[in-house]
């Protein structure tokens, strides 16, 4: 049995790489002494007290301080090298250069794109079960189940709201959900096996039991696995390209960049001047409608929230799902028909050529080179120990071919398409 999981579940935000001097990292204010108050240039401070790690948050432009596990730090140091980790006198590890860009990118993805910060309504640094439902820490997959022989699944929409469906799969039960940004950040870095700032579906499932067990559980939950009938047709041919790659849709990248730009704008209180030229260009149409009449470079926050909702609704999950399954099913039916016609045509020609050979008492010299090549196996199987063709064996082969032709003509069972929230 084979299991395939493809597509990208989550992608870290792009973050600038800055190589600072040790003196800059040493003197930077993060916690002011002796009061231990948080410095004004810190935008996010974890509630944890140990394993503190600081880096720049490219969205807010301020410093973020999180708690990373020893295992996470060991993984980062092994990949980026010790030079990107500066140990400050106050016990905080200050990230720099490529390590900072990598961790900051995943922080931005979780805090803004997956909306962990906005979901924390009471701003206590932790997410209760209800707050977690407001995050976008989920994704949808389309799958196909080939009668216990193959299961394939592919991401076709990500950053979906956890509350969109009751059945949770990335976080299996609401009681198991991550409680804060720190936990999800450690989990995302652990999942990103090759540290390419992307969490593939394969990597996402690795944190909850592995691809094999997750895919089997999905088909079992949907009643496909136990209810499947074993296919007894030895000539069945099915395409393995049934999963539609919606993630290649050009619109998805632009929509994601728009939402990133909007998140940055909201974080900066609607101040348009904080956006880059590219970000302003992406939101030009929307901002032209909502810019304040007084000519200032700000947008009302209530309007921004409405715009945020509008952008997310434009990539409505049901529209994508309908297109995905319709196209997948159409392609599967077309391929089955083409395969059937091709197999039946070849089988009919073999029966005809074997008939010619029988009429000529097994004289192979009467056949063309093309015909000989077509029934090469049949000729070999009809020979006696002395190397001569046995006509009775040849007739038996012809009868078998006729039965095979009728069997191949029977409609091939359609594999089961399913949709799962990952």
SS3 assignment for 119-148 = HCCCCCCCCCHHHHHCCCCEEEEEEEEECC
Domain-embedded: residue 77:
yes
**Whether residue 367 sits in one domain with residue 288:** no
- Contact, 421 vs 168, CB < 8 A? yes
Domain-embedded: residue 102:
yes
**Whether residue 333 sits in one domain with residue 406:** yes
Compute the residue count for the chain: 422
Domain-embedded: residue 124:
no
Q: How far apart are CA 237 and CA 228, in angstroms?
A: 17
Whether pTM > 0.75 for this model: the answer is no
Q: How far apart are CA 120 and CA 297, in angstroms?
A: 28
**Whether residue 218 sits in one domain with residue 175:** yes
Residue finishing a domain among 248, 271, 295: 248
**Whether residue 100 sits in one domain with residue 31:** yes
**Whether residue 232 sits in one domain with residue 173:** yes
**Whether residue 271 sits in one domain with residue 225:** no
**Whether residue 159 sits in one domain with residue 63:** no
Domain-embedded: residue 256:
yes
Q: Give the pLDDT confidence of 75-131 residue by residue, as tens digits.
A: 999 999 999 999 998 899 999 999 999 999 999 999 999 999 999 999 899 998 889
When divided into structural domains, the chain yields a total of 4
Residue finishing a domain among 46, 78, 110: 110
**Whether residue 240 sits in one domain with residue 264:** no
* Least confident window among 31-40, 45-54, 192-201, 280-289: 280-289
What residues contact residue 274 under an 8 Å CB cut-off, 6+ apart?
A: 61, 264, 265, 268
Domain-embedded: residue 57:
yes
Between 349 and 304, the more confident residue is: 349
Domain-embedded: residue 155:
yes
Domain-embedded: residue 244:
yes
**Does residue 223 have a pLDDT over 90?**
no
**Does residue 186 have a pLDDT over 90?**
yes
Domain-embedded: residue 183:
yes
- Contact, 90 vs 31, CB < 8 A? yes
Nearest to 260 by CA among 57, 59, 17, 9: 59
**Whether residue 58 sits in one domain with residue 89:** yes
Dihedral class, residue 291 (left if φ above 0, else alpha if ψ from -120 to 50, else beta): beta
**Whether residue 382 sits in one domain with residue 351:** yes
Share of the chain above pLDDT 70, in %: 68
* Least confident window among 22-26, 189-193, 273-277: 273-277
Which structural domain, as residue segments, surrounds residue 229?
A: 2-9+134-248
**Whether residue 40 sits in one domain with residue 97:** yes
Nearest to 240 by CA among 335, 343, 337: 335
**Whether residue 300 sits in one domain with residue 332:** no
Q: Give the pLDDT confidence of 9-24 residue by residue, as tens digits.
A: 999 998 889 999 999 9
């Amino acid at each position: 049995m084979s299991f395939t999981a493809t597509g990208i579940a989550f992608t870290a935000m792009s973050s600038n790489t800055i190589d600072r001097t040790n003196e800059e990292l040493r003197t930077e204010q993060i916690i002011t002494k002796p009061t231990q108050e948080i410095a004004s240039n810190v935008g996010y401070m974890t509630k944890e007290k140990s394993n503190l790690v600081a880096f720049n948050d490219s969205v807010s432009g301020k410093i973020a301080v999180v708690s990373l596990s020893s295992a996470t730090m060991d993984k980062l140091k092994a990949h980026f090298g010790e030079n990107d980790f500066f140990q400050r006198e106050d016990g905080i590890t200050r990230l720099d250069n490529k390590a900072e860009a990598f961790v900051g990118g995943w922080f931005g993805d979780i805090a803004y794109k997956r909306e962990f910060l906005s979901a924390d309504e009471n701003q206590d640094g932790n997410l209760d079960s209800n707050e977690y439902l407001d995050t976008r820490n989920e994704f949808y997959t389309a799958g196909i189940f080939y009668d216990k022989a193959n299961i394939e699944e592919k991401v076709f929409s990500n950053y979906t709201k956890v509350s969109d469906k009751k059945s949770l799969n990335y976080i299996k039960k609401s009681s198991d959900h991550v409680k804060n940004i720190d936990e999800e950040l450690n989990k995302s870095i652990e999942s990103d096996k090759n540290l390419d700032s992307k969490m593939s579906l394969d990597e996402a499932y690795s944190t909850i039991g592995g691809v094999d067990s997750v895919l089997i559980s999905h088909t079992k939950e949907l009643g496909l696995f136990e209810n499947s009938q074993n296919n007894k047709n030895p000539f069945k041919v099915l395409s393995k390209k049934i999963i539609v790659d919606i993630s290649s849709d050009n619109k998805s990248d632009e929509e994601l960049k728009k939402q990133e730009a909007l998140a940055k704008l909201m974080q900066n209180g609607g101040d348009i001047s904080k956006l880059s030229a590219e970000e302003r260009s992406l939101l030009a149409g929307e901002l032209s409608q909502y810019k304040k009449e007084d000519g200032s470079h700000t947008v009302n926050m209530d309007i921004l929230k409405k715009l945020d909702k509008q952008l997310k609704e434009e990539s409505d999950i049901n529209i994508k799902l309908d297109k995905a399954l319709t196209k997948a099913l159409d392609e599967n039916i077309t391929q089955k028909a083409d395969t059937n016609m091709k197999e039946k045509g070849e089988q009919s020609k073999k029966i005809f050529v074997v008939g010619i050979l029988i009429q000529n008492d097994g004289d192979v010299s009467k056949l063309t080179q093309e015909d000989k090549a077509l029934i090469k196996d049949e000729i070999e199987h009809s020979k006696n120990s002395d190397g001569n063709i046995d006509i009775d064996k040849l007739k038996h082969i012809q009868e078998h071919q006729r039965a095979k032709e009728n069997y191949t003509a029977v409609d091939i069972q359609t594999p089961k398409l399913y949709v799962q929230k990952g």
